[in-house]
Amino acid sequence: MAAAVRVYISIGSNVDRERYVKAALDALSAWFGELTISPVYDSEAVGFDGSPFLNLVVGVDTSLPVAELSQRFKQLEADNGRRRDVPKFSARTLDLDILTYGDAVGRIDGVELPRGEILKNAFVLRPLADIAPEAVHPECGKSYGQLWREYSTGQKLWPVNFSWQGRQISSAAG
């Protein structure tokens, strides 16, 4: 069996948000065991006019290949009502994206790694910096903490109260 690698996964929802984020955490926990979970943020929709999203990042250790992870995540999205017959930038029950897979760089099994959104969107970079501030972006060579400190697009996000399995994940106070 291949050695385990650290994988960071973004989770987002702007339809029945709490329900679907919890469903994603339940599934990830069942598949990978212990999760490293960022605070949960409320963020404005980016790319379209829509309801705000809940966003967070989860870290897992796995030996599953990128193709299997991607397939599982697409199936989990579909099982939770995600529609693919709508415009790319539209409301969604659940959105899971592989942000990083160890130090992999390039297109692997159809997935671009590391995901470009890390450097573009506050709702990805901030929660990633929260749980992996010293980890280094495999392309630009800067830590996620440093990238967040240098970030300045004006995208707004706010920490929210969020509990899962009886555990307080985040609070509105930050």
Q: Choose the catalytic residue: 92, 115, 126, 130.
A: 92
Q: Choose the catalytic residue: 19, 61, 72, 95.
A: 95
**Contact at 8 Å (CB) between 66 and 109?**
yes
Instruction: Give the residue from 106, 114, 110, 152 showing the smallest Cα distance to 132.
Output: 114
Q: Where are the alpha helices (DSSP H) in the chain?
A: 17-32, 66-79, 117-120, 122-131, 144-150
Place of tokens 């579909």: 78
Instruction: Give the residue from 96, 121, 106 showing the smallest Cα distance to 12.
Output: 96
The question of whether 84 is a catalytic residue gets the answer: no
The SS3 call for residue 90 is: coil
The question of whether 97 is a catalytic residue gets the answer: yes
Find all residues with CB under 8 Å of 5, minimum gap 6, and list them: 61, 62, 63, 101, 102, 104
Distance CA 38, CA 66 (A): 22
Q: Choose the catalytic residue: 17, 42, 82, 130.
A: 82
The question of whether 79 is a catalytic residue gets the answer: no
Q: Choose the catalytic residue: 17, 97, 126, 130.
A: 97
Instruction: Give the residue from 172, 104, 168, 101 showing the smallest Cα distance to 139.
Output: 104
The question of whether 49 is a catalytic residue gets the answer: no
Give the catalytic positions in this structure: 82, 92, 95, 97
